[in-house]
Structure 1
Amino acid sequence: MNLLGGRARTKYLHPLTYRELGDHFDLEQFIARGGLPSIYFSDDPPADLEAYAGSYLQQEIVAEGATRNIAAFSRLLKVAAFCNATIVNFTNVATDAQVPRTTVYEYFEILKDTLVLYELPGWRETKKRKPLASSKYYFFDIGVAAAVQGRRYRRGTPEFGEAVETYVMHELKSYADYVSGEPLAFWKAKSGFEVDFILGDHTAIEVKRRENVSSNDLKSLVALAEERKLKRYLCVSLEARRRQVGAVTILPVKEFLNNLWDGE
Structure 2
Amino acid sequence: MEHILYGSLPGIFAVDNPADRDVDLKSYVETYLEEEVRKEALVRNVGQFTRFLEYAGIESGNIVSFRAISQEIGVSHTTIASYFEILEDCLVAERVDPLTKSQTRKKLIRSSKYLFFDLGVRRICADEGIKFLPERLGAVFEQYVGLELIRNARLTGNCKIKFWRDADGPEVDWIIEKHHTFVPVEVKWTDSPDTNQTKHLKTFLAEYKEAKEAYVICRVPRPVQLDKNITAIPWMDIHKLFSMYD
Of 220, 234, 245, which residue of structure 2 is paired with 1:252? 234
Distance (whole Å) between structure 1 residues aligned to residue 194 and residue 105 of structure 2: 23
Mapped to 2, the partners of 1:154 and 1:249 lie a distance apart of 30
Residue 161 of structure 1 and its aligned partner are, at CA, apart by 1.1
Residues 156/90 of structure 1: CA separation in 2 closer, same or farther (3 Å cut): closer
Counterpart of 2:186 (choices 206, 211, 236) is 206
Counterparts of 1:160 and 1:133 in 2: how far apart (Å)? 26
Q: Measure how far apart 1:185 and its partner are.
A: 0.8
TM superposition score normalised by structure 1: 0.83
- Aligned position for 2:140: 163
Following superposition, the deviation at residue 255 of structure 1 comes to 2.6
Q: Which residue of 2 aligns with 1:67?
A: 43
Which residue does 1:11 correspond to in 2?
A: none
Cα distance in structure 2, aligned partners of 1:57 and 1:83? 17
1:31 and 2:11 correspond:
no
Contact kept in structure 1, 2:218 and 2:233, CA below 8 Å: yes
Inter-partner Cα distance in structure 2 for 1:97 and 1:251: 41
Counterparts of 1:116-195 in structure 2 under 5 Å? 116-130=92-106, 131-154=108-131, 157-195=134-172
Quote the offset at 1:219 in angstroms: 1.3
Q: What is the percent sequence identity of the aligned residues?
A: 31
Q: Secondary structure at the match of 1:199?
A: strand
Q: Which moved further from structure 2: 91-100 or 156-165?
A: 156-165
Q: Does 1:237 align with 2:218?
A: yes
Contact 1:54 1:148 in 2 (8 A): no
What is the distance in 2 between the residues matched to 1:97 and 1:75?
A: 7
Q: How far apart in 2 are the matches of 1:177 and 1:65?
A: 30
Q: State whether structure 2 residue 96 is matched by structure 1 residue 96.
A: no
Selected match of 2:198 from 215, 218, 230: 218
Q: How far off is 1:262 after superposition?
A: 4.8
- 3-state DSSP of counterpart to 1:202: strand
Structure 2: how far apart are the matches of 1:114 and 1:35? 17
Q: What is the TM-score when the length of structure 2 is the normalising length? A: 0.88
Structure 1 pair 127–115 and aligned structure 2 pair: CA distance change class (3 A): same
1:42 partner SS: coil
CA deviations 1:20-51 (Å, max 9, x no partner) are xxxxxxxx121121011101112321111111
Contact 1:126 1:229 (8 Å CA) reproduced: no
Give the letter for the 1:128 counterpart: T
Tell me the secondary structure at the aligned position of residue 4 of structure 2: helix
Structure 2 unaligned segments of length 5 or more: list them.
none
Distance 1:209 1:128, change over 3 A: same
Aligned equivalents of 2:205, 2:58: Cα separation in 1 = 31
